[in-house]
Structure 1
Amino acid sequence: MTSSPTRPGVSRWWRALSIVLLLVLSIGLTATISLYVQLQAHIGHLQSKLSQLPQIRQLAVLMDQDQKPAMLVTYDPVAKQLQLERLNAVKEGREDSMQLWAMRPHQAPQSLGVVESKFKAVAMSATTEQLQGATSLAISVENKGGVPNEQGPRLPWLFQGALVNKAL
């Protein structure tokens, strides 16, 4: 009688170990995918918050006649706003208005508007085109309500300073 050769089988322990390793690998892969999706969502959220922050692209420190800082002007192209902050105690009179002007080489000054408030910080709407090519900003004292662009400013300038493009 001849005995048939026995087939070597796989141990139950090896089978159990391979199933456990497959489960661990599946859980690890699922966790990795989940973390990747969460990371992408977090990056998107941070990018949207960053786009809402003021993006100061241009600024000017306007100086008085004694070359002391009188007003800080910053421009946020996303909000399309000029932010003016008074650095001294000079205020316009009851019948006067301060008017902001953009100055370009070899061109007449262009009015950016009248500083309406006597508060320390004031926001004025402005477009990028209004500041395009401007090399400096200045403030003149005008009659109440300001003057039209065609009339031009009353000189001498109350405050004046270079407009600087901020590096990104």
Structure 2
Amino acid sequence: MTETTSLLQRPCHAARWRAATIACLLLLAVGIATGVSMFEQFTAQIHHLQKKLQSTAQIKYIAVLLDGQQTPALLVTQDPQDGALQIQRLNSIAEGREDSMQLWALAADGQPRSLGVLARGSKTLRIAADERTLAEVRQLAISVENKGGTVENAGPSLPYLFVGAVVQKAL
């Protein structure tokens, strides 16, 4: 009888093991929920940054056109994603009523090619131009022409008012 009594009086560890197992399972559940939540936040951040990167201009070509006194007059940038030249006037020079400013691409062979006529009075403007347009161009220049610009395949009729080197930005 003493053996039976001693077995009944021993403390039962089953309740402690059960409580410890439940506590470990709760900690594991909280850890998994935290990990899943952090993964979802990380995925959302990646998608947000990808959208932001796509909407940010990726400038590949840049040119600062200088006037006769070597003062910056225009800033020209080209974003390959946008497919256009962004032109920003840096001075207050404006063409007359019967004049137009025309943008020229000067390749290594020296042949000027018209890229378009600048809109009158705009501080910033865009001209359609893909990456290939500036690939072989060494300089950009602007001349003042009769209203509407020169005829197709004709060079500038007046000397260049602004000239600047085209620089390809390192990627």
Do they superpose with TM above 0.5? yes
Aligned twin of 2:128: 125
1:84 aligned onto 2:87: yes
**Equivalent residue letter for 2:25:** L
Q: How far apart, in 1, do the equivalents of 2:82 and 2:119 lie?
A: 19
Structure with the largest fraction of helix: 2
Aligned match for 1:94, one of 86, 93, 97: 97
Q: How far apart, in 1, do the equivalents of 2:169 and 2:152 lie?
A: 27
Aligned match for 2:46, one of 43, 48, 51: 43
Aligned twin of 1:105: 108
* Aligned partners of 2:117 and 2:148 also within 8 Å: yes
Aligned twin of 1:68: 71
**Equivalent residue letter for 2:26:** L
* Aligned partners of 1:110 and 1:149 also within 8 Å: no
- Shift in Å at residue 54 of structure 1? 1.8
**Equivalent residue letter for 1:17:** A
Give per-residue Cα distances to partners, 1:8-41, cap 9 Å, x unaligned.
9743112211111112112211210221122112
- Shift in Å at residue 107 of structure 1? 4.5
Q: How far apart, in 1, do the equivalents of 2:120 and 2:25 lie?
A: 70
Structure 1's consecutive aligned runs of 4 or more residues displaced over 4 angstroms after TM superposition are none
**RMSD, matched Cα:** 2.2
Q: How far apart, in 2, do the equivalents of 1:156 and 1:115 lie?
A: 17
The count of residues paired between Structure 1 and Structure 2 equals 167
Question: Where does structure 2 lack aligned partners over 5 or more consecutive residues?
Answer: none
